[in-house]
């Protein structure tokens, strides 16, 4: 059974629209993260949350907003979508946000903005 569920697996969106990417983890972890992988760049860190609180944000644009309604949820809302937002978005979790925790990744949401 997948321990981190990301929905949807694939998403096509129109420029200017808004979408929410869903992430739920069933590992009992206290820290969750979002990473982005686009065709020309390595996996880039976006956000980290610990106990539902924002710890770090490396996303320049406020169009990306994480939402944590429950301890094991960290959704990603993206507004005013642009073609450059096309990428695979990975959710991850770890027991704690400290360096001595290993990360587990979801299978990703592949987003295409047209």
Tell me which residues touch another protein (CB under 8 A): 31, 33, 35, 42-45, 48, 50, 55-56, 58, 88, 90, 97, 99-100, 102-105, 107-108, 110
Closer Cβ to another protein, 18 or 56, answer by number: 56
The whole-angstrom separation of Cα 47 and Cα 56 is 6
Q: In the complex with another protein, which residue's Cβ is closer, 4 or 78?
A: 4
To another protein, the closest distance from the beta carbon of 84 in angstroms equals: 19
Min dist. Cβ of residue 90 to another protein (A): 7
The nearest distance, CB 88 to another protein, in angstroms, is: 6
Phi-psi region of 3 (alpha: psi -120 to 50; beta: other; left: phi over 0): alpha
Phi, psi of 107 (to 5 degrees): -85, -5
Nearer CB in complex with another protein: 65/104: 104
């Amino acid at each position: 059974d997948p321990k981190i569920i990301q929905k949807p697996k694939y998403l096509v969106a129109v420029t200017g629209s808004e979408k929410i990417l869903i992430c739920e983890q069933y590992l009992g972890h206290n820290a969750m993260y979002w990473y982005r992988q686009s065709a020309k760049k390595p996996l880039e860190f976006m956000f980290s949350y610990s106990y539902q609180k924002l710890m770090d944000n490396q996303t320049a644009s406020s169009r990306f907003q994480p939402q944590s309604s429950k301890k094991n949820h960290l959704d990603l809302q993206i507004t005013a979508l642009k073609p450059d937002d096309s990428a695979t978005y990975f959710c991850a979790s770890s027991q704690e946000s400290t360096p001595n925790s290993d990360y587990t990744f979801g299978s990703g949401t592949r987003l295409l903005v047209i």
